[in-house]
């Protein structure tokens, strides 16, 4: 079983790491350096326009690109799973992971990244901002999807080949999973969906769905899930498997408004 998630815009480089964390080196350092070279020549105004950022955030990220180096150490970088702090990672809550859970995550969890391509949880990363959907013209194409091409799919296939079950749980956003080529992926893809009741109907509400994707990622890791049919057992934060709305490759989990309110 392999899990893929998206990165987050919010970062945390201050919270102390557990003593048992042993960082690893990312796979696509040369490719990241190639993208940094493209970004370094852009002005804060260019970055603000390209990424729809405020002047302050654009200047911050231009400084990050200029400071970026292909060598990593504890002084400048941080393991990816501990660096990202968005809704998905609030749900995932790595602070609850034991050393064994983290080892399980290192084997079974991958983070798609516009700059780093594909990160394992313990892979070093420097702070950055580069969404996968950014139309960054580069030597390989007009955007990051063309830059990464088949490489991320091949990397996922290599990771799947190390597993005994051959299925991938897609908990990433559409923006990021577009960097994967499903028809060339050597495994079954399962894309869970989380819907909340609102005015008597079940709808995808982005904030809740993101957090639920993180919670499911943590559950898959901590429960050592190995078979696709086990996903229907997921029952956390009021979400329950809805057989009527589900397909084998797209299980749907619904949460009634009363169950959500009971958690408040």
- pLDDT at residue number 259: 84
- pLDDT at residue number 73: 83
CA distances from 244 to 138, 227, 237, 251, 258 (A): 45, 21, 20, 10, 20
| Residue 53 dihedral angles phi and psi, to the nearest 5° | -110, 160
- Identify the segments of the chain with pLDDT beneath 70: 264
Q: Whole-model pTM above 0.75?
A: yes
- pLDDT at residue number 264: 60
- pLDDT at residue number 5: 98
- Residue 43: how many other CB atoms lie within 10 Å: 11
Contact between residue 124 and residue 24 where contact means Cβ atoms under 8 Å apart: yes
């Amino acid at each position: 079983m392999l899990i893929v998630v998206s990165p987050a815009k919010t970062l945390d480089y201050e919270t102390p790491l557990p003593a048992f964390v042993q960082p690893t080196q990312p796979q696509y350092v040369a490719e990241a350096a190639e993208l940094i070279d493209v970004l370094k020549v852009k002005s804060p105004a260019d970055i603000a326009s390209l990424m729809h950022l405020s002047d302050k955030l654009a200047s911050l990220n231009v400084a990050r690109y200029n400071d970026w180096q292909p060598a990593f150490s504890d002084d400048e970088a941080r393991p990816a799973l501990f660096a990202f702090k968005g809704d998905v990672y609030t749900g995932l809550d790595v602070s609850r992971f034991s050393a064994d859970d983290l080892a399980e995550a290192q084997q079974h969890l991958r983070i798609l990244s516009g700059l780093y391509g594909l990160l394992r949880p313990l892979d070093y990363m420097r702070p950055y901002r580069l969404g996968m959907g950014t139309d960054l013209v580069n030597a390989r194409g007009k955007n990051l999807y063309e830059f990464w091409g088949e490489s991320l799919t091949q990397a996922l296939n290599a990771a799947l080949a190390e597993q005994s079950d051959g299925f991938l749980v897609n908990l990433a956003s559409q923006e990021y999973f577009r960097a994967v080529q499903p028809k060339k992926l050597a495994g079954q893809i399962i894309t869970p969906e989380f819907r909340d009741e609102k005015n008597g109907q079940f709808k995808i509400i982005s904030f809740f769905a993101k957090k639920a994707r993180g919670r499911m990622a943590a559950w898959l890791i901590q429960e050592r899930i190995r078979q696709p049919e086990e996903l229907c057992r997921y029952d956390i934060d009021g979400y329950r498997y809805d057989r009527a709305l589900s397909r084998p490759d797209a299980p749907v989990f619904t949460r009634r408004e009363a169950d959500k309110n009971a958690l408040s």
